[in-house]
Structure 1
């Protein structure tokens, strides 16, 4: 899961980074309001954690601007001010949830996942299916037509991304970012991974599931 944290307290940010990176979350960080707004407009996140009191622009202003620019990413406001007026103001500007500092990290995690689940319920499914293809997200096992397919971690991540969005197309950029973040390897390594994935998921069967969308990316054809 990818989060944007806009928080001017380095201590709070450090605590959140330590906690969520241990859970394999990815966090982008801004210490002031204007930088946070720029990141929120330019990148795609599952949830935005937005402090109220910030230098440059406060959290309410950022929330308003994001919504006016058409950003629908769930926003969870963080504040040390436990007042009815602040809470109502946050919701009025388009926030989806509101947490008072100091907060319990487990509760914060639960609230983040609840917000993300509303937007991307497929990411929290324990089993993904596409035609005769089945992925168990807990055991990371893959089956097609009842036959078990052994994939390496990279192949599984690509297939899970395609299955989670099927039948929609997943761009090459989305896949690359999911695998390597902002440091993709040199050369067209992704093409090699797709080739290997096809040799395992498609070649032994009568119908190909993995479809190339020219100049865009890949998708799964679940109509078998």
Structure 2
């Protein structure tokens, strides 16, 4: 299991590293919410352990952005000293899959994470996005259009996933940039380059175009009449 711990208590983080690494798991850590969100969206983890009270961005806001802006389904368990029912409800509504109050026993955290992973793997077997003959298998990371295998760079695949999840709605440039780079987008219009490459692979060999530019808005993936969009 590859685990991301988003927690600012250094002693607790050290205890989690000692416990999980001794059992053969790989553990990364982030000391604040902004760093945690960046890692969670730029790298692949099996599960997240998220503290409620974090510097720069609290746990509920981190999970809310992770679910709503990045469409991530990575299982997440929230750690907090807040044990009142309204707090628990708020945590689940923000996007937590489980909720564990401090202090807690490390074996209990491990068992809860294992249960989350089992459920997530069951969902992954069905995680296939499909729009107008374009198919993206999120388990194998294979993309096909009309049965033809498409070879995509990881960044292009992230853009494609965001567009397919939102289809037929538009996705803003800001949302796509955040999906790729978090709060630290690179200088220049690198997003345009990624969309150009994605178009070359997804639309280039086919007569019908699916990826469209919406001026001053962003991009949309859908079968649309040419007069409704301005491509470029």
Shorter chain as denominator, the TM-score bin is 0.5 to 0.7
How do residues 17-96 of structure 1 correspond to structure 2 at under 5 angstroms? 19=26, 21=28, 24-25=44-45, 30=51, 33=53, 35=55, 38-41=58-61, 44-46=65-67, 49-52=77-80, 58-60=81-83, 64=86, 71-74=93-96, 76-79=98-101
Write out per-residue CA displacement over residues 89-125 of structure 1, whole angstroms, 9 at most, x where no aligned residue: xxxxxxxxxxx642363651442674x79xxx7x774
1:10 to 6, 9, 13: 13
How do residues 83-122 of structure 1 correspond to structure 2 at under 5 angstroms? 101-103=106-108, 105=110, 107-111=112-116, 114=119
Question: Would the aligned equivalents of 1:3 and 1:48 in 2 still touch at CA under 8 Å?
Answer: no
Question: Would the aligned equivalents of 2:6 and 2:49 in 1 still touch at CA under 8 Å?
Answer: yes
Q: Is 1:140 aligned to residue 144 of structure 2?
A: no
Question: Would the aligned equivalents of 1:51 and 1:78 in 2 still touch at CA under 8 Å?
Answer: yes
SS of residue matched to 2:66: coil
Instruction: Report the equivalent of 2:180.
Output: 179
Unpaired segments ≥5 residues, structure 1: 53-57, 83-99
Write out per-residue CA displacement over residues 162-204 of structure 1, whole angstroms, 9 at most, x where no aligned residue: 2233223333233223222333221110011101211221132
Q: Is 1:213 aligned to residue 219 of structure 2?
A: no
Unpaired segments ≥5 residues, structure 2: 30-42, 68-74, 226-232
Question: Would the aligned equivalents of 1:79 and 1:101 in 2 still touch at CA under 8 Å?
Answer: no
More contact order relative to length (CA 8 Å, sep ≥ 6): 2
Question: Would the aligned equivalents of 2:7 and 2:13 in 1 still touch at CA under 8 Å?
Answer: no
Structure 1 consecutive aligned stretches of length 4 or more whose deviation exceeds 6 Å: none
TM-score, L = length of structure 2 = 0.61
Residue 135 of structure 1: how far off its partner (Å): 2.0
Write out per-residue CA displacement over residues 41-83 of structure 1, whole angstroms, 9 at most, x where no aligned residue: 365134653334xxxxx3236x73585699542352224668x
SS of residue matched to 1:194: helix
- Alpha-carbon RMSD across the aligned residues, in angstroms, is 4.3
TM-score, L = length of structure 1 = 0.63
SS of residue matched to 1:51: strand
